[in-house]
A and B are shown apart, each in its own frame.
Chain A
Amino acid sequence: MSAPVLDLSLVPPLGEPRPQPVPDVHLTTLGSGLRVAVVPRAGVPLVELRLRVPFAAASARTAAAHVARTSVLTGAVLLGTQSHDQVQIAQLLQAEGAEMSVSADPDRLLFGTTTLPAGLPAVLGVLAELLTAPTYPGAPVAAEKARVAERIAIARSQPGVVARTALATRRYGVHPYAVQLPETEQVANTTPAALRKLHRERVLPAGSTLVLVGDVDPAAALDAVAVALGGWTGGGTAVDAPPLPPTPPGPLQLVDRPGAVQSNLRIGGPAPGRRDPELPAVRLASTVYGGYFSSRLVENIRERRGYTYSPRSSVDHLQAGSSFLVEADVATEVTGPALLETQYELGRIALLPVTEAELEAARRYLLGTTALATATHAGLASTLSALVGAGLPAEWLTEHQAALAAVTLDEVTAAARRWLHPAGLTTVVVGDAERVAGQLEALGPVQR
């Protein structure tokens, strides 16, 4: 009952694109080495704050302990300062409409909050206390460790987490990025003294980046930052993750999850970083392959075959190396067929050119959704925090958009050949081994 082909004469043409607002970024580096980016913009009367502190494990040898301590530190840093206890800290922030979230990934620690504009000086004051005078009090830290252990157990029961950690272990080998979830035993062994030491050595202004976006006056905000964070001066330099060693893909790894009604397919490999001129072409190739609903992978294994709900591919960036990733959660009984189609589409895009129409659709999608994602205080703050934190200029965003606009069909084809070819990628499947091993072995070697 729907039209077999689209009659383009019925589709309203797009109007003239309107100019994209360019963020008005005021960038300063304080004497302590802290970089500060302030961006005033129209929108709701709020300010978004992000403080990014480099926090990678320095070496493979120390990674397990570092990740365990960090998992406790993110909660424990809020448990008290020399001036205020946990309740007072929370109330001081709440009074300004704020709440501090502290999170970690393999590269950094991130303090983030939203505040009413008038509350910015007070919130910066609390942030300064957390940075310079946390106490890591014994009994509350012990309770936090118990909670972290419970949360790790819950995380390990999630198939998506199991699949992500298995792929990281497989891909990164002995590099610190291989450790994605701490061992509960090492969490239990973390002492307040170890947290204080970690904080003293690693929560440093040099290499850190503070981003403020929203209803702010740049000069007044900078003054407020200088006043509040003037005492944050710890010596030392930031530590970034060591370079990634090359790891050959190896055979498919099957992780048994007895009784699972779905299998989690995860495929990953290296990708160009943000400074690599090939990145725009790879992002476009990934988008055509599985990066949005209009992609080949979604059309094939969801809309044609009904194997899965939300298959996807993406290009992700960590400081020491970027990744091309494919994910699909598929019904147990079609695990083999779903992997076959996923690999077929990888092989097809690696060997055969994409069409002009596919390239143009992907290009407009990436340009448009980047504009959408940075059209809020929170979206722009998080984007800038990642970029400036990675040492890139704020103009990177505009330059990358221009580069996306200029990529040619030949460049996308070459990038797909180099980065998306299935033989260069690592595959992990989490599922009921008894029911899926035979299907997977029909396609190639399987390692348990």
Chain B
Amino acid sequence: MSSPPAELTLRHPVERFTLDNGLRVVLAPDTSVPVVAVSVFYDVGMRSEPEGRTGFAHLFEHVMFQGSAHVPKMEHARLVQAAGGTFNGSTHQDYTNYYEALPAEALERALFLEADRMAAPAITEENLRNQIDVVKEEIRVNVLNRPYGAFPWLQLPQIAFGSFANTHDGYGSFVDLESSTVADAQDFFDRYYAPANAVLCIGGDLDVAETERLVRRHFDAVPHRAAPATPYTGEPSPTGPRHGVVVDALAPAPAVAIGWRVPDPVGDLDTYLGTVLLSELLSEGDASRLELRLVHRDHLAVAQSSYVGLFGDPFDVRDATLLTTQVHHPADVAPQRVLDAVHEEVDKVAQDGVGADELARVQARTSTQLLRGADSVLGRTLGFASAELVHGRAELAGELAARLAAVTPEQVQHAARGLARDTAAVLELHTAGGTA
């Protein structure tokens, strides 16, 4: 067995400064490939949405691609792609991001585009109606027209949590989406898209002094607005079990998901790291506890997985969040048998602990996955940006592999003791045939 690499910390220096309008800027230079990544993270996500406006953070993300004061519709895409670059955006629970990966010589063009829409996106009736239609098709592709589309990411939070912020459908109801107005969008922009509520992170083949000059050239003109207070998304810990059933008319076979509340990802990071490794130990790969037990030994499952954080990234969420285990099982296996086996495996870790050898293997696997994600300039840049926004320290992204490699068997055992059966939220997915 290889010992963990002597140096798991990514050796990328991180420079930062703040503009007068409050925009936080992080630069992560690395000249190994002639590529730059530019990302803007706004501190607004699905959990910021008010009642009656479900899905609005994501809808607004679409509107941000519809042009801006000096950029006509379609030109954002053309200017990035005709420079040999790619772009996208995504809406998360606690932030919304926009990014480009480009040949290094296109850096200033990306800064121009991001600054122009930070100042004045084209919020018009025509653009809003068009993108409501596009978002409805996105929801049909990803949720309504496919089996397991909402399972469990839109369905489990409804029974696992209590507050509107944590339980509502972040993709949005069609009723809420269709009733959205230009005034809603302008208000949302004014409130949440202030430069003081954003992080600009640039990584790759860049010169720090020159890039700072370019950033100031394009972003200094965006007027200051006060940043809103960070919404409180924490919740009291659950005190009892919760259980729900959904029927999926398109699904050919049943499934079940279990969600446990876990420690505060930001306020209690050390304890949380134990939970992250526990999740890996339980489910990551062919040697994991649940793969061996559910799939190979007891034949209770077709597939299983566990992850921390709603979208599977444990380090880009604030409190409250879950460790989720989801299992696809044959119709002739009762969900209770699956649940019993999962809880038994968790209890084994809680009671007997974890051998140092097994944990070292899990840590080696976790290291390769983190390093792999950091191999692309874009992946690395997004990691620095979300660490800056969520944890207040971009450097954390570079330190995670080493931090996880230092987690002890006792920390993992402690984490398993937190996954109590009597405070778990369980969601069963039944097929329309009524099996399981």
Name A residues whose Cβ lies closer than 8 Å to a Cβ of B: 1-7, 10-12, 14-21, 42-46, 78, 86-87, 89-91, 93-100, 114-116, 118-119, 122, 140, 143, 146-147, 150-151, 153-154, 156-160, 259-262, 292-294, 299, 302-310, 329-331, 360-361, 364-365, 367-369, 371-372, 375-379
Establish whether residues A3 and B70, one from each chain, have CB atoms under 8 Å apart when the complex forms. yes
**A376 to B380, alpha carbons, bound, how many Å?**
12
Interface size class, chain B: 35 or more
**A44 to B33, alpha carbons, bound, how many Å?**
12
Establish whether residues A262 and B141, one from each chain, have CB atoms under 8 Å apart when the complex forms. yes
Q: Does B364 contact A (CB under 8 A)?
A: yes
Task: Find chain A residues with CB under 8 A from B4 CB.
Answer: 116
The answer to whether A97 and B368 touch (CB under 8 A), given A2-B68, A119-B2, is yes
**A1 to B292, alpha carbons, bound, how many Å?**
58
Establish whether residues A309 and B141, one from each chain, have CB atoms under 8 Å apart when the complex forms. yes
Contact for B85 among A87, A114, A260, A368, CB less than 8 A: A368
**A306 to B127, alpha carbons, bound, how many Å?**
10
Task: Find chain A residues with CB under 8 A from B124 CB.
Answer: 1-2
Task: Find chain B residues with CB under 8 A from A305 CB.
Answer: 133
Minimum distance in angstroms from A113 CB to a CB of chain B = 9
Establish whether residues B140 and A12, one from each chain, have CB atoms under 8 Å apart when the complex forms. no
Establish whether residues A14 and B106, one from each chain, have CB atoms under 8 Å apart when the complex forms. yes
Minimum distance in angstroms from A316 CB to a CB of chain B = 19
Q: Mark each residue of chain B from 108 to 150: 1 if its CB lies under 8 Å from any CB of chain A, else 0.
A: 1101100000001011100001111111111011001111000
**A3 to B113, alpha carbons, bound, how many Å?**
13
Task: Find chain A residues with CB under 8 A from B396 CB.
Answer: none
Establish whether residues B84 and A371, one from each chain, have CB atoms under 8 Å apart when the complex forms. yes
Q: Which residue of A lies closest to B330 (CB)?
A: A150
Minimum distance in angstroms from A438 CB to a CB of chain B = 20
Q: In chain B, residues 83-117, which have Cβ atoms closer than 8 Å to a Cβ of chain A?
A: 83-87, 101-109, 111-112
Task: Find chain A residues with CB under 8 A from B367 CB.
Answer: 97, 116
Establish whether residues A294 and B74, one from each chain, have CB atoms under 8 Å apart when the complex forms. yes
Establish whether residues A1 and B123, one from each chain, have CB atoms under 8 Å apart when the complex forms. yes
**A97 to B129, alpha carbons, bound, how many Å?**
48
The 10 closest A-B pairs by CB, nearest first: A368-B84, A306-B133, A15-B105, A97-B368, A2-B122, A2-B67, A90-B287, A361-B82, A90-B286, A18-B34
Task: Find chain A residues with CB under 8 A from B299 CB.
Answer: 143, 146
Task: Find chain B residues with CB under 8 A from A46 CB.
Answer: 368, 371-372, 375
Minimum distance in angstroms from A299 CB to a CB of chain B = 6
Minimum distance in angstroms from A360 CB to a CB of chain B = 7
The answer to whether A12 and B109 touch (CB under 8 A), given A365-B81, A372-B101, is yes
Establish whether residues B285 and A45, one from each chain, have CB atoms under 8 Å apart when the complex forms. no
Q: In chain B, residues 146-204, which have Cβ atoms closer than 8 Å to a Cβ of chain A?
A: 146-147
27 contacts between A and B (CB under 8 A): A2-B72, A17-B34, A17-B105, A18-B205, A43-B32, A45-B5, A78-B286, A94-B285, A94-B361, A96-B1, A96-B364, A99-B287, A100-B286, A122-B2, A150-B253, A157-B250, A159-B145, A260-B145, A262-B141, A294-B74, A294-B82, A303-B74, A307-B137, A309-B138, A310-B138, A372-B85, A376-B375
**A18 to B136, alpha carbons, bound, how many Å?**
41
Q: Does B279 contact A (CB under 8 A)?
A: no
Q: Which residue of A lies closest to B358 (CB)?
A: A91
Name B residues whose Cβ lies closer than 8 Å to a Cβ of A: 1-5, 10, 32-35, 66-75, 77-79, 81-87, 101-109, 111-112, 120, 122-124, 129-138, 140-141, 144-147, 205, 249-253, 285-287, 292, 295-296, 299, 302-303, 328, 330, 360-362, 364-365, 367-369, 371-372, 374-377
Minimum distance in angstroms from A285 CB to a CB of chain B = 16
Establish whether residues B253 and A14, one from each chain, have CB atoms under 8 Å apart when the complex forms. no
Minimum distance in angstroms from B332 CB to a CB of chain A = 10
Minimum distance in angstroms from B334 CB to a CB of chain A = 16
Task: Find chain B residues with CB under 8 A from A153 CB.
Answer: 252-253
Contact for A151 among B34, B77, B82, B302, CB less than 8 A: B302
The answer to whether A11 and B84 touch (CB under 8 A), given A87-B292, A90-B285, A378-B375, is no
Task: Report which residue of A21, A91, A146 has the largest number of chain B beta carbons within 10 angstroms of its beta carbon.
Answer: A91
Q: Which residue of B lies closest to A292 (CB)?
A: B81
Establish whether residues B286 and A99, one from each chain, have CB atoms under 8 Å apart when the complex forms. yes
Establish whether residues A43 and B292, one from each chain, have CB atoms under 8 Å apart when the complex forms. no
Give the interface SS of chain B, mostly helix, strand, loop or mixed. Answer: mixed
Establish whether residues B66 and A2, one from each chain, have CB atoms under 8 Å apart when the complex forms. yes
Establish whether residues A42 and B32, one from each chain, have CB atoms under 8 Å apart when the complex forms. yes
The answer to whether A11 and B112 touch (CB under 8 A), given A44-B371, A96-B1, is yes
Establish whether residues B375 and A377, one from each chain, have CB atoms under 8 Å apart when the complex forms. yes
Minimum distance in angstroms from B221 CB to a CB of chain A = 12
Minimum distance in angstroms from B288 CB to a CB of chain A = 8
The answer to whether A43 and B375 touch (CB under 8 A), given A15-B105, A90-B286, is yes
Establish whether residues A157 and B251, one from each chain, have CB atoms under 8 Å apart when the complex forms. yes
**A337 to B25, alpha carbons, bound, how many Å?**
46
Task: Find chain B residues with CB under 8 A from A115 CB.
Answer: 368
**A329 to B146, alpha carbons, bound, how many Å?**
12
Q: Which residue of B lies closest to A370 (CB)?
A: B84
Q: Which residue of B lies closest to A331 (CB)?
A: B137
Minimum distance in angstroms from B100 CB to a CB of chain A = 11
**A368 to B81, alpha carbons, bound, how many Å?**
8
Task: Find chain A residues with CB under 8 A from B77 CB.
Answer: 292-294
**A122 to B1, alpha carbons, bound, how many Å?**
8
Contact for A97 among B34, B286, B330, B364, CB less than 8 A: B364
Establish whether residues A375 and B376, one from each chain, have CB atoms under 8 Å apart when the complex forms. yes
Establish whether residues B140 and A331, one from each chain, have CB atoms under 8 Å apart when the complex forms. yes
Establish whether residues B70 and A98, one from each chain, have CB atoms under 8 Å apart when the complex forms. no
**A306 to B74, alpha carbons, bound, how many Å?**
14
**A249 to B253, alpha carbons, bound, how many Å?**
36
Minimum distance in angstroms from A394 CB to a CB of chain B = 18
Task: Find chain B residues with CB under 8 A from A293 CB.
Answer: 77, 81, 87
Task: Find chain A residues with CB under 8 A from B372 CB.
Answer: 44, 46, 114, 377-378
**A216 to B102, alpha carbons, bound, how many Å?**
27
Task: Find chain A residues with CB under 8 A from B82 CB.
Answer: 294, 360-361, 364-365
Task: Find chain B residues with CB under 8 A from A116 CB.
Answer: 2, 4-5, 364, 367-368
**A420 to B281, alpha carbons, bound, how many Å?**
50
Minimum distance in angstroms from A134 CB to a CB of chain B = 15
Establish whether residues A20 and B330, one from each chain, have CB atoms under 8 Å apart when the complex forms. no
Establish whether residues A156 and B252, one from each chain, have CB atoms under 8 Å apart when the complex forms. yes
Task: Find chain B residues with CB under 8 A from A91 CB.
Answer: 287, 361
**A212 to B205, alpha carbons, bound, how many Å?**
25
Establish whether residues A308 and B137, one from each chain, have CB atoms under 8 Å apart when the complex forms. yes
Establish whether residues B103 and A16, one from each chain, have CB atoms under 8 Å apart when the complex forms. no
Task: Find chain B residues with CB under 8 A from A378 CB.
Answer: 372, 375
Task: Find chain A residues with CB under 8 A from B102 CB.
Answer: 368
**A242 to B17, alpha carbons, bound, how many Å?**
61
The answer to whether A310 and B84 touch (CB under 8 A), given A2-B72, A11-B109, is no
The answer to whether A376 and B2 touch (CB under 8 A), given A6-B72, A46-B368, is no
Task: Find chain A residues with CB under 8 A from B137 CB.
Answer: 262, 306-309, 329-331
**A6 to B138, alpha carbons, bound, how many Å?**
29
Task: Find chain B residues with CB under 8 A from A376 CB.
Answer: 375-376
